[in-house]
Structures are given as C-alpha cells and as structure tokens.
Amino acid sequence: MLFKKKNTDIDLSSLDMKKVVSDAKLSHIAFIMDGNGRWATNKGLPREAGHKVGVEAFRTIAKKCKEYGIKTITIYAFSTENWSRPKNEVNEIMRLLDKYISEAEKEDAENRSRYYVLGDKERLGPELKAKCEYLEEFTRDNPYVVNIALNYGGRDEIVRAVNKLIAEGKTEVTEEDISSHIFTAHCPDPDLIVRSGGECRISNFLMWQSAYSELYFCDTLWPDMGDYELREAIVEFSKRKRRFGGVINK
Ligand code: FPP
C-alpha cells in the first residue's frame, strides 16, 4: 500500500510509543524532508527560511525517535541533483548543515548519536569535509545512529560500490558484496521511509536499501512535521504486514 490511512480511530497522544516501536520491530526510519520551499513560499518568506525551520523539525523528530527506542535514523539532506538549485539556496543549505554539524559536537552528551555522512564528501569542500569526518570520529562510541545523506545519490552509491569491488579485483559480485560496499554498510536497511510534502516518489534515495522498506507519504510540509506526524507514520507502519517476499505464518 502506498498511501497512509488516517488513524482517526486511535488517540495517538495516549499511545506507549516505545511499545509500538518494539512490537513493530522498527529499528531504522529514513526521512525525505520535502516541502521546506513551499512552506516558506506559503508564508511569503524566502525558500531558505523553510530550510532553517526544517532543521528544527529534524531536531524534534530525531529526539522523539530516540525516545521511542528507534536505533537508526537517516535523512536526505542534500542530493547529488540539488546542486542545480539557485546558488543562494545551495549556500544557505550548506551553511545550515555546517552549523548543525558544529552544534552536534557540542550537544554530544545529549544526542548520544553516532553520525555518518553518506555521500561523496569531496564536493563539499575541504573544510566541511573535514568537519564531517571529525564528527564521525568524535561520536564513534555513541549508541544511536544518525545518517546524514549529503551530496548523496542512490544510483551513484551503487555505481561507486561496484567500482570499489572491481578495484578490489572482483569479476563477479553478490548482493552481500554490494551491501557491504555502500555508504550504509554499518546499519540495517530502513524498515520505513517517510516522505513529507505530498509527493509520492523516492527521488534516488536509498535505492538499494529500500528493496523491502515500507513507504509512507504524507501531505504535511517538512517544517510542520512533529511528534504527532511521527506517531501517525509509526502507527501506520505497525499495521503493515511485512512478508519480505514470503508468506505470513499466522
Ligand atoms: C527539500 O525541500 C529539502 C531539501 C532539499 C534540503 C533539506 C535540507 C535541510 C533542511 C538542511 C539540512 C540539515 C539538517 C541537519 C537537517 P524542498 O526545498 O524541495 O521543498 P519544496 O518541494 O517545497 O520546494
């Protein structure tokens, strides 16, 4: 099923979300944070204002995911295609990312998250690249995982993995080879991919990893996403019957 069902029959605020998450075996959620630009335009603001509020929405969502016991979250912060946006907008997104990365180090004790930056860091420039690498190293002993997809493309990731394997001398590759050479080799595939903003597509995000992910699309624009919308997505996930190509023996 592609679209969410409205959970109007349930009082979401009274649910024990830790139990819902644990019963549903939800360990990894990925987010396509769409709708920042429209959110800002609707308010007569420049698009960049939407990205700024979008970072705060991410902070809220990340905190709640941890509170509910979700071990890994992945966000699509900037795609390999996003470089074609107006220069001002690209610069502002990079500034926000740079700021977030600096703050993540300071907030380490509270975050308890191990960061991974997925994507080709070369194009980020030497300063931001070094900051990303420092954050990855600095947070390496933390129990939760936050993957930031930055200058990331799903097809590009698969091509890179195959080229790495060729460079290692492989002439034939297995699924395990590819899974262990993509940017997310350190974590399980996402159980759930949430896309805000009303569009129903994957946009080159986690192409390999999403083979058996449940997809959830909602109309809410990313800056308006909060605990209630997260609960809606998780509850919908908890109702899905995952078969992974097999049958359910119940
Ligand atoms: C999609 O909305 C959003 C992006 C391409 C950029 C998102 C990046 C940030 C919020 C900064 C990331 C930093 C962290 C750490 C969270 P859109 O601009 O395509 O919206 P639209 O579809 O309404 O135009």
CA terminus-to-terminus distance, the chain: 20
Q: Does 73 contact ligand 1 (Cβ within 6 A)?
A: no
Distance 241 CA to ligand 1 centre (A): 31
Catalytic (active site) residue 108: no
User: What is the spatial distance between Cα 188 and Cα 28, in angstroms, rounded to a whole number?
Assistant: 7
What residues contact 85, with CB distance under 8 A and at least 6 apart?
A: 93
Q: Predicted confidence band at 10 (pLDDT cuts at 50, 70, 90)?
A: confident
Q: What is the mean pLDDT of the chain?
A: 94
Catalytic (active site) residue 34: yes
Q: Does 145 contact ligand 1 (Cβ within 6 A)?
A: no
Hey, CA dihedral for 131, 137, 141, 145, is it positive or negative? positive
**188 or 248, higher pLDDT:** 188
**Is the model's pLDDT at 9 over the cut of 80?**
no
Write the DSSP symbol of residue 146.
Answer: E
Q: What distance lies between CA 49 and its chain's CA centroid?
A: 21
Domains and CATH numbers, the chain: 18-230 (3.40.1180.10)
Distance 98 CA to ligand 1 centre (A): 14
User: What is the spatial distance between Cα 233 and Cα 76, in angstroms, rounded to a whole number?
Assistant: 17
- Continuous H helices in the chain: 17-23, 36-42, 47-67, 87-106, 108-111, 126-138, 154-167, 175-179, 227-239
Amino acid sitting at position 36: N
Write the DSSP symbol of residue 206.
Answer: S
Q: Convert the pLDDT of each residue in 225-236 to its tens digit.
A: 999 999 999 999
Q: Does 208 contact ligand 1 (Cβ within 6 A)?
A: no
Q: Convert the pLDDT of each residue in 52-82 to its tens digit.
A: 999 999 999 999 999 999 999 999 999 999 9
